[in-house]
Chain A
Amino acid sequence: MAYPDCPEDRISVWLDGELLQGEAGVVETHVEGCASCQELVQAFGSRTLPRLEPDPSFIVRFRARRDEQSIAPWWTWRQLALRLLPLAVAVVGAAILSIWIAASSSESALQALELEALGDPVAFDAEVEAVLSIAFEPFPSDIE
Chain B
Amino acid sequence: MRLISRAGTWKGGARYAGSPMDADRDVLARYLDGDEKAFEELVIRYEAGVRNLVYGLLRDRALAEDVAQETFLTAYRKADTYRGEGTVRGWLFKIAIRRAHDELRRRGRKAEVALEEAPEPSETPHVGLEAGWDVTEALGALSPDHRAALMLKEIEGLSYQEIAETMGWPIGTVGTHIHRARIELKAFMEEKAHGLSRLS
List A residues at the B interface (Cβ < 8 Å): 8-9, 11-13, 16, 18, 40, 43-44, 46-55, 58-59, 61-63, 65-66, 69, 71-75, 78
Inter-chain CA distance A74–B39, complex, in Å, is 11
Report yes or no: A16 in contact with B160, Cβ–Cβ below 8 A.
yes
User: Do B52 and A51 touch (CB < 8 A)?
Assistant: yes
A16 closest partner in B (C-beta)? B153
CA–CA, A97 to B135, complex, Å?
Answer: 74
Bound complex: CA A17 to CA B139 (Å): 23
B91 to chain A minimum Cβ distance, whole angstroms, is: 14
Query: Across the interface, do B76 and A74 meet the contact criterion of CB distance under 8 Å?
Result: yes
Task: Give every chain A residue within 8 A of B72 (Cβ-Cβ).
Answer: 62
In the complex, 18 of the A-B residue pairs with CB atoms within 8 angstroms, ordered by the A residue number, are: A11-B179, A13-B160, A13-B175, A16-B160, A46-B130, A47-B130, A48-B128, A48-B135, A49-B126, A50-B123, A50-B139, A58-B65, A61-B69, A63-B40, A71-B73, A74-B32, A75-B1, A78-B1
A residues less than 8 Å from B160 (CB atoms): 13, 16, 18
**In the complex, which residues of chain B have a beta carbon less than 8 angstroms from the beta carbon of A71?**
73, 76-77
Contacts of A61 in B (CB 8 A): 65, 69
Q: Which residue of B lies closest to A56 (CB)?
A: B44
**Number of residues from B at the complex interface, CB < 8 A:** 52
The answer to whether B52 touches A46 (Cβ under 8 A) is no
- Residue B185 is within 8 A (CB to CB) of chain A in the complex: yes
Assembly CA distance A128 to B160 (angstroms): 96
Does B182 lie within 8 Å of A12, measured CB to CB? Answer: yes
Q: What are the residues of chain A within 8 A of B31 when measuring CB–CB?
A: 73
Of chain A, the residue at the smallest CB distance from B181 is A12
Q: A66-B76, A69-B73, A74-B79 are in contact. Are A52 and B179 (CB under 8 A)?
A: no
Known: A50-B135, A59-B40, A71-B73. A44 touches B80 (CB 8 A): no
Instruction: Check if A58 sits within 8 Å of B129, measured CB to CB.
Output: no
- A55-B47, A59-B47 in contact; A8/B73 too (CB < 8 A)? no
**Minimum CB–CB distance for A91 against chain B, Å:** 26
* A12-B178 in contact (CB<8A): yes
